[in-house]
Structure 1
Amino acid sequence: MFKALILEKQDDRTVASIQLIDEARLAASADGGDVLVRVDFSTLNYKDGLAITGKAPVVRTWPMVPGIDFAGVVESSSHPDYKPGDKVVMNGWGAGETHWGGLAQKARVPADHLIALPANITTRQAMAVGTAGYTAMLCVQALEKHGIGTNDGDVLVTGANGGVGSFAVAILAKRGYRVIASTGRPEEAARLRELGAADIVERATLSEPGKPLQKERWAAAVDCVGSHTLANVCASLRYGGAVAACGLAQGMDFPATVAPFI
């Protein structure tokens, strides 16, 4: 038996409770999972919050254990790539949506959903980075893949005080980029500068409807916000620039024109 946060559907409402779960029930929900992991740590992500509160249709099957990531130690495995005692991390793959996720003391998942942790990284450190750090690094790699160099100009990070934004600021600065952080919390400016931001932009300058084409300003951007913010970022991007868009904190809409792209 182990403890898990269980989401159930009751009268069109999402009800969350901590329950004792039998491992046999975990196996039945695992959808071919061949590795049983003792979960040490998970993180609470925006998508998890939506699932737990029922604010968005994240959960596809019921009941559900939320948690889109976890790090832990293999307890048992029928797959040759993993053996008991191995440290592993899991992110995504529909966890907390279509099959049980990481907000539990144990998880059973297919081996190809796991990544072995290097010996010098603890499970705590892996989840301190978590999905936010993972996403931020994917964004930075995408910009680099598109040829954005450290001498090309300022790189904007929107939603810079959030999880992904904070990591993006730190990673970009560490790699030598001049980072401009956009935030609606000016009281956090000192923290953002400690992470490596060269300057701070007030969120309101980007979050309102703007012109389809604006003065070229950004060599690249990591956008965690969406909506009017992303539209304004595209409208003020330098020729040949790129945006890694990964969030929708302001909204799912994209009220832009094709003008910046042509």
Structure 2
Amino acid sequence: EDQSSHEVLQPLLSSSEGRPFRLGTGANMEKVVKMDRDMTKSGCCEVITEEAAAALRKATKWAQSGLIVSVGPPIETVNPEATSGLSTGDKKKTAQTSICRERNSELARTDPVRPFISGHVANSMAAEVIALLHSLLMAPESNAAQIWTTTAEKVLSRALMYIPQLGKYAESILENGSSSGRKLAKLQRIARQAVAALCALGGFKETIKIGSEVQVLGKGIAGSIGVVASINEQEGIATVKFPPTSIDSRKTSQ
């Protein structure tokens, strides 16, 4: 829901190491179009059909790169002439689709409604929450502001006290292996709280993304405020669009 099909497929098809097939030929371009269409329609698509070992090896590489993948038997297509007049909607779902739905339903009973969100959405949510916290702490003196200040100090102080314990728990888990699931769960819990406290105290860095309001510094443009129009992450270049008033004032200053 948070990423378009292009954003998901582009890293996969542009990777020199994990690319599923060569682009350029008509048949492969048709595959890309079908993958894009399936991804847009149902949120998933079939990338390759190979021997189990080769498919698993490639799926592991893609999973390590951050893609959500699954491995299963090839999807059998039904010959339209042999369907006895049945429409596509009347055909039975494939076995792997049914299994995935059952497992997702089971997970939904205990897991959050949205267990997966994109990096951009998570970064924006964190930035907004931290900005809200800072605005509450810097509000004019009032009873409400005092309550927020006192509460925030208690929560942050308690979270920061966990930092010395992180090394002890991590060392214990490394010595005893992963046999103690309870210790690992506690380590993850206190680590999340400690990281959240450090982020709230200034350790969080909001990433530059399309639509971000930025201040550009440099010769002749000091203090100019603009909006990011595009980003090339590979080259580390961003295009910033300035409002007309900013451009006019900059020209006047020159």
Normalised by the length of structure 1, the TM-score is: 0.22
Higher helix share: 2
Normalised by the length of structure 2, the TM-score is: 0.22
Higher strand share: 1
Larger radius of gyration: 2
